[in-house]
Chains A and B, each alone.
Chain A
Amino acid sequence: MKKEEIPQDKSTLENITKEMYYVKGDDGKYDTGLSKGWSVKAEALESAWDDIDNEVEEARRAVQNGKKSPVYFFMKKELMDDSILASYVGMMKFRVKWHFKPGVFKRLKHATLLKYAKVFNISVEELKSFEG
């Protein structure tokens, strides 16, 4: 890639930082140059976020329909999977999965709820009262 070919497309990095590229200068030698963004990457990133948004929406509906507990929804919202969540709350993975069941969730102790609430950055009340 040549220096004048560095893409300068709109991206979410704008106003935060620019990305560094290694490119060929006019003299045929390597140089560095900064890029505001590249539409190709922006599309890949955007579509990854579309997928995440869909999953979060599905999780919200699952809570609404009584299929999953709020723990499941907030896990999705925080882009976690069961093993990441398990390591944040310091519980075994199977236990976290068990808490995805609405019936089990309703009987959870305050201390357990507090662990989840802290990781999700919400109050225990918000966690308990979430209905989708």
Chain B
Amino acid sequence: MHTDYKHEQSAHCENGVITNFIRSYGHDFMTEPLAFGLGSGLFYIHLPFIKVNGIPAFAFRTMPGLIFKRTCRSLKINVESKRFRKPETAQNYLDKLLEQGKLVGCQVGVYNLSYFPKEYRFHFNAHNLIVYGKEDDHYLVSDPVMETVTKLSVEDMNTVRFAKGVYAPRGHVYWVDTIGDISEHDIKKGIIKGIKRNVRDMLHVPGPITGISGIKYTAKKVKGWRDKLGPRRAGQYLGQIVRMQEEIGTGGGGFRFIYAAFLEQAAAYFDSKELLSISDEFTRAGDMWRESAMLMAGALRGRASEQSDYNKMHDLLNGISEVEKGAFTRLSKLKLK
């Protein structure tokens, strides 16, 4: 058991697991924004056909698991992982890893996660937490989005590790054997790569639904929702955007503030005024996203649900797309060494 394990809260679970992992191996430089940026976490996608309860899906970050994979790879951290068929085998394996004194990352579903408030328990299976020990019939759990550490009974743990549906975890556990030296040069190289990849994801993915084009696409759609779907259904669509953008784990403004914080930290590594100034652009984008969420909530609750309000959302979203386009274009022209 890690008696000296130090839990640090983070905005987002995946970033938090990486950060806590790396810090617990003595690398204090690691922060949540850095993990997010090295993993090129910022994204936008509007999926009109993949519907969750009949409502289109939106995402403000890359696919679950990808940030983790990219960040560890760019710092040359070797991550072992395993999935299972049977809960018993999965439990034994977890226990064995804990006996060896390892910190173990677990992918879980939140629907049966007993310490979460009921209102947040949907069938979402890509939540991550760290198990740092076992006491009697309980696992000691460090859930990055919680303020303090918590516990889960063995039975509850088996249930959430074997949640079913999209992204079913199948008992997925992952751990790190050792982490070697990480030099400042490695971090800088990782930052450059992370930024480049994020520029690609936001500016150059073909098709109309991703990155800055995706935001424009949503803007266009939003304008037509009131007529096409009626105020009630349109409100449900807007509610979906607001929840994906602001719910637990985004750090506010659809991850834009975390990204701005990453660029601020990157600026210090490279002593670059330009990076600092681009960071401000993402802060601006984040503020605009929050303003858009306020408009959407107004329409959703019928306070301001005229067509003119939908037009305002359209204009604001287009504005956000422009701000982010400008910021990523500046990032793409940056020459960092």
Asked if A47 and B300 sit within 8 Å, CB to CB, the answer is yes
Partner of A19, one of B11, B253, B296: B11
B243, A22: Cβ atoms closer than 8 Å: no
Residues of A within 8 A of B33 (CB): 22, 30
Q: Residue on A with the closest CB to B279?
A: A30
Contact A44 B252 (CB under 8 A): no
Q: Is B313 an interface residue (CB 8 A)?
A: no
Q: Point out the residues of chain B lying under 8 angstroms from A87, CB to CB.
A: 164-165, 168
Among B262-302, those with CB < 8 Å from A are 264-265, 283, 286-287, 290, 293-294, 296-297, 300-301
Shortest beta-carbon distance, A24 to chain B, in Å?
A: 7
Q: What is the size category of the interface that chain A forms with chain B?
A: 20 to 34
Would you call A1 and B257 a contact (CB within 8 A)? yes
Assuming the contacts A30-B33, A87-B165, A87-B168, asked whether A44 and B239 have C-beta atoms less than 8 A apart, the reply is yes
Interface residues of A in 22-51 (CB under 8 A from B): 22-24, 29-30, 32, 34, 38-41, 43-45, 47-49, 51
Interface string of B189-216 (1 = CB under 8 A from A): 0000000000000000000000000000
Q: B166 contacts which chain A residues (CB < 8 A)?
A: 84
Does B251 sit at the interface, judged by CB under 8 A? yes
| B residues in contact with A97, CB < 8 Å | none
A41 & B235 in contact (Cβ 8 Å cutoff): no
Could you name 8 residue pairs across A and B whose Cβ atoms are closer than 8 Å?
A19-B145, A22-B11, A23-B257, A44-B296, A51-B236, A79-B111, A79-B123, A87-B165
Chain A interface (Cβ < 8 Å from any Cβ of B): 1, 12-13, 16-24, 29-30, 32, 34, 38-41, 43-45, 47-49, 51, 79-81, 83-84, 87-88
